[in-house]
């Protein structure tokens, strides 16, 4: 008799962290396939950094007033007493690796891509997870505006190959060490008399990081923002020239964009170019990034420039499903081996292994005893050919090959199995 209520499992995935199940792998495989294709086209090399870093690395670089440092980092103390953090993003780790391993000797500029999980402790909701995956591109040690454009074009190519529609690309500049202090002063002059009208977060951020007020989603704060000073009116000549060069490269490549003077990023290390790509109708930001010319200096290295962008994998999958974009993953034709009877099972495993050594993709369900159950498993696998070995076939040293599309089947010598399967699958 079945229980009336579903019993609660003893262990489940932690809140905000999910399993990637076999049925979802087709989406992940397609995205990884496209990521590798774009990385190859744009000459990016793979880099992998640890999931754990010193907590101080992120605290020094992301900004003490950033949401990531204030609220979202998973921080703990190791048995040796070291404060460690699960990485909340990858750019800082890559810059640390660049300095630690002297990667400037490998290439100049260094162009790398990465893929993997990031961790942020925030309230789980649509498009936001405590463990989430990103694909990113970084170009290190060159401040030329062409590399800002190249990062943007690579990400846009990523979306084009996935056939994602209605991408809204917004771009801005947030200045540099020369012009930003004056703009910060203008923001403080504007917002201080309005402090009581701001939300609680913006009141707290006002003195430490007034730029974040421009990024607030609170409706009242957004209304106040409409009359705030615009950074484009306070840029130094170098930042203005850099912005115009980036926009020129983008226009030359016929990439539509929206100039958003209030766009900022939530991390302190950004300067000059910042951008976001989103699907406005779905209120989903798919990618974001920008330039970070001071980051390596902040974490103890030389003053070396960088620019990069990250793409949210879970968000892409969500949008592809909503836009009804089916992953176009190329799969090799597959054979399915069926063994009926104890003797067939014993000799069948040898045949299966021989086919795999010959490069044939073959599935099986040898633990199932009945022919019907194994045929059902073959259908679920969408096998092109089914290979049936029974007691009679073992005795005669033959095997039945059934074409699943036509239903036609033929008995062939077991010694000719690999040759016959290759001929039919190709």
pLDDT digits (tens, 9 = 90+) for 353-396: 888 998 888 888 777 668 888 888 888 888 888 999 888 988 89
- Find out whether 89 is annotated in a ligand binding site: yes
- Find out whether 373 is annotated in a ligand binding site: no
Task: For residue 191, tell me if it sits in a domain.
Answer: no
pLDDT at 368: 67
Residue 6 pLDDT level (bands cut at 50, 70, 90): low
- Find out whether 83 is annotated in a ligand binding site: no
- Find out whether 228 is annotated in a ligand binding site: no
Secondary structure (DSSP) of 15-54: TT-----GGGHHHHHHHHHHHHHHHHHTTPEE----SEEE
pLDDT at 147: 94
Overall residue count recorded for the chain in this entry: 426
- Find out whether 134 is annotated in a ligand binding site: yes
- Find out whether 318 is annotated in a ligand binding site: no
Residues 351, 262, single domain; the answer is: no
Q: Mind listing the pLDDT tens digit for each residue in 207-226? A: 888 888 888 888 888 888 88
Q: Of the residues 322, 356, 391, which one is the last residue of a structural domain?
A: 322
- Find out whether 284 is annotated in a ligand binding site: no
Please provide the average confidence, as pLDDT, over all residues in the chain.
88
* pTM score, whole prediction: 0.85
Domain of residue 145, CATH code: 3.30.930.10
Residues 356, 286, single domain; the answer is: no
Task: For residue 343, tell me if it sits in a domain.
Answer: yes
Residue 5 pLDDT level (bands cut at 50, 70, 90): low
Q: Stretch 135-154: mean pLDDT, rounded? A: 94
Q: Stretch 57-80: mean pLDDT, rounded? A: 80
Task: For residue 361, tell me if it sits in a domain.
Answer: yes
**Nearest-angstrom CA–CA distance, 322 and 297:** 42
**Nearest-angstrom CA–CA distance, 23 and 46:** 27
Residues 162, 287, single domain; the answer is: yes
Q: Of the residues 322, 354, 385, which one is the last residue of a structural domain?
A: 322
Whether 44 shows a pLDDT value over 50: the answer reads yes
Highest mean pLDDT among 33-37, 80-84, 196-200: 33-37
Q: Mind listing the pLDDT tens digit for each residue in 325-348? A: 888 766 666 888 888 888 888 888
Residues 303, 355, single domain; the answer is: no
Q: What residue numbers bound the domain in which 131 lies?
A: 22-179+235-322
6 compared with 173, residue with greater pLDDT = 173
Residue with tokens 């399967």: 421
Task: For residue 210, tell me if it sits in a domain.
Answer: no
Residues 269, 363, single domain; the answer is: no
Q: Of the residues 270, 288, 322, which one is the last residue of a structural domain?
A: 322
Task: For residue 327, tell me if it sits in a domain.
Answer: no
Q: Mind listing the pLDDT tens digit for each residue in 396-418? A: 989 999 888 888 889 999 999 89
Using alpha carbons, select from 236, 252, 200 the residue that is nearest to residue 221. 200
Q: What percent of the chain has pLDDT over 70?
A: 94
Whether 231 shows a pLDDT value over 60: the answer reads yes
Residues 280, 362, single domain; the answer is: no
Q: Cβ distance 156 to 168 under 8 Å? A: no
Contacts 24+ apart (CB under 8 A), 352-355: 354/417, 354/418, 355/417, 355/418, 355/421
- Find out whether 270 is annotated in a ligand binding site: yes
pLDDT at 7: 64
Whether 146 shows a pLDDT value over 90: the answer reads yes
Whether 23 shows a pLDDT value over 60: the answer reads yes
Q: Mind listing the pLDDT tens digit for each residue in 69-82? A: 777 888 888 888 89
56 compared with 245, residue with greater pLDDT = 245
Residue 72: DSSP 8-state: I
How many degrees, rounded to 5, is the angle at CA 287 between CA 135 and CA 85? 60
Output the furthest CA–CA distance in the chain (Å, rounded).
94
Task: For residue 249, tell me if it sits in a domain.
Answer: yes
Residues 155, 265, single domain; the answer is: yes
Residues 115, 250, single domain; the answer is: yes
- Find out whether 147 is annotated in a ligand binding site: no
Residues 59, 117, single domain; the answer is: yes
Which helix (H) or strand (E) segment is 113 a member of? strand 110-119
49 compared with 264, residue with greater pLDDT = 49
Task: For residue 17, tell me if it sits in a domain.
Answer: no
Residues 243, 379, single domain; the answer is: no
Residues 139, 42, single domain; the answer is: yes
Domain of residue 373, CATH code: 3.40.50.800
């Amino acid at each position: 008799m079945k229980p009336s209520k579903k019993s609660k499992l003893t262990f489940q995935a932690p809140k905000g962290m999910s399993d990637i199940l076999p049925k979802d792998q087709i989406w992940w495989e397609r995205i990884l396939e496209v990521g590798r294709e774009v990385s190859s086209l744009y000459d990016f090399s793979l880099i992998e950094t640890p999931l754990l870093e010193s907590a101080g690395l992120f605290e020094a670089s992301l900004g003490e007033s950033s949401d990531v440092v204030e609220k979202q980092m998973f921080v703990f103390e190791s048995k040796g007493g070291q404060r460690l953090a699960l990485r909340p993003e990858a750019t800082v780790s890559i810059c640390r690796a660049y300095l630690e391993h002297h990667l400037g000797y490998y290439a100049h500029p260094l162009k790398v891509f990465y893929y993997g999980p990031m961790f942020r402790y925030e309230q789980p909701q649509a498009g936001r997870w405590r463990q989430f995956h990103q694909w990113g591109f970084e170009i290190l040690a060159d401040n030329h505006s062409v590399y800002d454009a190249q990062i943007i074009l690579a990400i846009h190519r990523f979306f084009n190959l996935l056939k994602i529609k209605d991408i809204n690309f917004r771009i801005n500049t947030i200045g540099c060490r020369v012009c930003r202090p004056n703009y910060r002063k203008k923001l403080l002059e504007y917002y201080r008399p309005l402090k009581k009208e701001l939300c609680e977060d913006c009141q707290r951020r006002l003195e430490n990081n007034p730029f974040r007020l421009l990024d607030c989603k609170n409706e009242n704060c957004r209304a106040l923002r409409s009359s705030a000073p615009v950074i484009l009116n306070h840029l130094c000549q170098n930042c203005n020239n850099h912005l115009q060069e980036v926009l020129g490269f983008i226009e030359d490549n016929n990439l539509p964009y929206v100039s958003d003077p209030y766009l900022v990023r939530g991390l302190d290390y950004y300067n000059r170019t910042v951008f976001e790509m989103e699907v406005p109708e779905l209120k989903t930001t798919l990618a974001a990034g920008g330039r970070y010319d001071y980051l390596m200096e902040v974490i103890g290295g030389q003053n070396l420039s960088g620019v990069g962008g990250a793409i949210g994998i879970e968000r892409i999958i969500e949008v592809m499903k909503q836009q009804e974009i089916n992953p176009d993953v190329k799969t090799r034709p597959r054979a399915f081996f069926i063994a009926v009877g104890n003797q067939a099972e014993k000799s069948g495993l040898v045949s299966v292994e021989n086919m795999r050594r010959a490069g044939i993709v073959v599935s099986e369900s040898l633990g199932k005893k009945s022919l019907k159950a194994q045929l059902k498993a073959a259908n679920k696998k969408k096998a092109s050919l089914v290979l049936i070995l029974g007691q009679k076939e073992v005795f005669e040293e033959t095997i039945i090959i059934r074409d699943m599309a036509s239903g036609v089947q033929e008995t062939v010598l077991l010694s000719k199995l690999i040759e016959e399967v290759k001929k039919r699958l190709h």
